Chains A and B, each alone.
Chain A
Amino acid sequence: MTARTPVAAGDIRLDGLTLGYDRHPAVHHLDGTIHRGDLLALVGPNGAGKSTLLKGLIGEIPSLDGQIHRGMPARTLAYLPQADEIDRSFPLSVLDLASMGLWRRSGAWRSLLGHRGAVLKALDAVGLSGFEARPIGTLSGGQFQRALFARLILQDAQVLLLDEPFTGVDARTTADLIALIRTWHVEGRTIVAALHDLAQVRAYFPKTLLLAREPVAWGATASVLSPQNLARATRLSEAWDEDAAICAHDHAQVAPAPDGSGHDDGHDHTHGHHHRPAPPEQHETAA
């Protein structure tokens, strides 16, 4: 893959991106562009590579193949982890957790006193006024998620990557947080969220990427979430194949895999044609 035209500022272009663990791809040959200001839902069965893609976007997982062209520095992306990735037994107050979002302004040493107003405002915006001094270990799942959103507000990032933001969160909190996400969308920020609730996606997310290790469809939500695409996603998200052959995808430097050896069992390679540079319009319709 040679880099084509430089990526537009604020866009993120994926060129044949393959991410994975121990050579086994979890996201396989993904092409496309996340445009500036997109409100994009990332949908797919468990193990489809949603979290892997988000972690790849922030540079946490190195790519096995292909490239990510970011139209912004990698460290200006804000990332909301799944809640269980944070050590909540650590004696930290809600105020301190939210204040972590100020890092780019405060660094390791500058005082946070001047930002206190902003932190309180962010906590107020997520409905956590009065919780400043509470240790994070005493919060409920929903309250903790709200605190993480307060941190996101303070990060003030142009691109927000949210990994299952509503898992284990009640309806009212979800509604509040979706309202917040829509405010960010109106402000022109780019938002990518891994989600499971299709009704939610249809209601609030204009664009969707349906992933099942391989991209099934990427475009307007209504056309992506068709019954055919969803059925195909379920079929594709098969188990990890320990004996999978080396992916022979049009890379000259990789030896071609012997025909039919393990490459057919569920490892559907119909995406081969995607490797030609895709015209940008393609992303507006179902691929």
Chain B
Amino acid sequence: MIDPFAPFVEFGFMRRALVGCLALSISAPPVGVFLMLRRMSLMSEAMSHAILPGAAVGFLVAGLSLPAMTLGGLVAGLAVALLAGLVTRSTVIREDASLAAFYLISLAAGVLLVSMRGSQIDLLHILFGTVLALDDPALLLLGGIATATLFGLALIYRPLVMECVDPLFLRTVSRSGGPVHYAFLGLVVMNLVGGFQALGTLLAVGLMLLPAIAARFWARGLGTLIPASMLIAVVASFSGLSLSYHLDLPTGPAIVLAAGALYLVSMLAGPRGGLLYRLVKPRHLEA
């Protein structure tokens, strides 16, 4: 019998990895819930690519330094989000199209920068994360991102919900629509950069979206969706890390695959529109 807790009891670096992933598990999924409800799920994928050149610049300047690459990613992601928003508001291009344009430019620049220096192994580090090498500053950063995300979401929660449901109404009663939208994009970028620390750019989106989408099969209201998504992310992080240790798998993909497995289970067994419930067809109510 394999003890799932053994690696965390035994090794400090596994405990650090767990703490980092747990911090990410309570901050990224709520953001993912809003992305999913706004039908912007794939936007986070685009944003994660936009972060790459910033990380690459950090890498070129300071080598494989997490703080430098994080700062670079943050700057690049926010710049792309702001530019895309600006273009959307001042021209006829819709947000998804302008975002696609900027993230493609950004991604190409990133690949170019990475290939200018560094070996294939370095590139793999950037793409698949360095969760087993989280140092103190990196952990503090992840904790800080989680704290800022939860406070930020609490601050903009009401106007953000209104902006999702009826943006025109929010514009007629308040000027907060624009700032709230940008603040939300800022939270998305922040969490992607955090995920990039732990899971790498390619999989950073995984811990943000998979738990949120899986939660949709368990909960109906926003007040239950958000905690459910956090719980799923926590379970995925823990089991992913544990499995990666016991089976000697790369950690980033293991965590995202664990979240993916939870999604598949939710899709089959979830009480809110899950496949099994559809097949069983419970008898309809009287009214």
Q: How far is the CB of B124 from chain A (nearest CB, A)?
A: 39
**A271 to B221 Cα, complex, angstroms:** 53
Nearest B residue to A137 by beta-carbon distance?
B220
Asked if A58 CB lies within 8 Å of chain B CBs, one says yes
Q: Is the CB of A58 within 8 A of B220?
A: no
Give the residues in chain A near B220, CB-CB below 8 Å.
91, 135
Give the residues in chain A near B161, CB-CB below 8 Å.
90, 92, 96
Nearest A residue to B224 by beta-carbon distance?
A91
Asked if B119 CB lies within 8 Å of chain A CBs, one says no
Stretch among B172-180, B187-195, B249-257 lining the A interface = B172-180
Output the residue of B159, B161, B166, B172 with the most chain A CB within 10 A: B172
Asked if A60 CB lies within 8 Å of chain B CBs, one says yes
Contact with A91, one of B168, B174, B225 (Cβ below 8 angstroms): B225
Q: Is the CB of A86 within 8 A of B165?
A: yes
**A79 to B166 Cα, complex, angstroms:** 11
Q: Is the CB of B225 within 8 A of A87?
A: no
**A90 to B168 Cα, complex, angstroms:** 15
Asked if A240 CB lies within 8 Å of chain B CBs, one says no
Q: Is the CB of B172 within 8 A of A60?
A: yes
Asked if A220 CB lies within 8 Å of chain B CBs, one says no
Asked if B155 CB lies within 8 Å of chain A CBs, one says yes
* Cβ proximity bits B143-176 to A, threshold 8 Å, 1 near / 0 not: 0000000000001111101101110111111101
Asked if B37 CB lies within 8 Å of chain A CBs, one says yes
Q: Is the CB of A92 within 8 A of B222?
A: yes
**A85 to B169 Cα, complex, angstroms:** 10
Give the residues in chain A near B172, CB-CB below 8 Å.
58-60, 75, 77-79
Q: State the main secondary structure of chain B at its contact with A.
A: helix
Stretch among A100-108, A195-203, A242-250 lining the B interface = A100-108
Q: How far is the CB of A112 from chain B (nearest CB, A)?
A: 9
| Interface size, A (range) | 20 to 34
Nearest A residue to B225 by beta-carbon distance?
A91
* Cβ proximity bits A47-87 to B, threshold 8 Å, 1 near / 0 not: 00000000000111000000000000001011101000111
Give the residues in chain B near A100, CB-CB below 8 Å.
162, 165-166, 169
**A104 to B174 Cα, complex, angstroms:** 8
Contact with B171, one of A60, A86, A151 (Cβ below 8 angstroms): A60
Asked if A180 CB lies within 8 Å of chain B CBs, one says no
Q: Is the CB of B169 within 8 A of A93?
A: no
Known contacts A93-B221, A135-B221; decide if A87 and B176 are in contact (CB<8 Å). no
Give the residues in chain B near A104, CB-CB below 8 Å.
173
Give the residues in chain B near A79, CB-CB below 8 Å.
168-169, 172
* Cβ proximity bits B207-240 to A, threshold 8 Å, 1 near / 0 not: 0000000000000111001000000000000000
**A136 to B156 Cα, complex, angstroms:** 22
Give the residues in chain A near B225, CB-CB below 8 Å.
91
**A103 to B86 Cα, complex, angstroms:** 27
Q: Is the CB of A103 within 8 A of B173?
A: yes
Known contacts A75-B174, A135-B221; decide if A108 and B155 are in contact (CB<8 Å). yes
Give the residues in chain A near B171, CB-CB below 8 Å.
60
Q: Is the CB of A90 within 8 A of B164?
A: yes
Give the residues in chain B near A103, CB-CB below 8 Å.
162, 170, 173-174
Q: Is the CB of A85 within 8 A of B221?
A: no
Q: How far is the CB of B218 from chain A (nearest CB, A)?
A: 12
The 7 closest A-B pairs by CB, nearest first: A103-B173, A90-B165, A86-B166, A108-B158, A79-B172, A58-B172, A108-B159
A sample of 25 cross-chain residue pairs with beta-carbon separation below 8 angstroms, ordered by A number, consists of: A60-B168, A60-B171, A60-B172, A75-B172, A77-B172, A78-B172, A81-B166, A81-B168, A85-B166, A86-B166, A86-B169, A87-B165, A89-B37, A90-B161, A91-B222, A91-B225, A92-B165, A97-B165, A100-B162, A100-B165, A103-B162, A108-B158, A108-B159, A136-B165, A151-B169
B binding-site residues for A, Cβ under 8 Å: 37, 155-159, 161-162, 164-166, 168-174, 176, 220-222, 225
A binding-site residues for B, Cβ under 8 Å: 58-60, 75, 77-79, 81, 85-87, 89-93, 96-97, 100, 103-104, 106, 108-109, 135-136, 151, 155
Known: A103-B173, A103-B174; 18 extra A-B contacts, CB below 8 A, are A59-B172, A60-B168, A60-B171, A75-B174, A81-B168, A81-B169, A85-B166, A86-B166, A90-B164, A90-B165, A91-B37, A92-B161, A100-B165, A100-B166, A100-B169, A103-B170, A106-B158, A135-B220
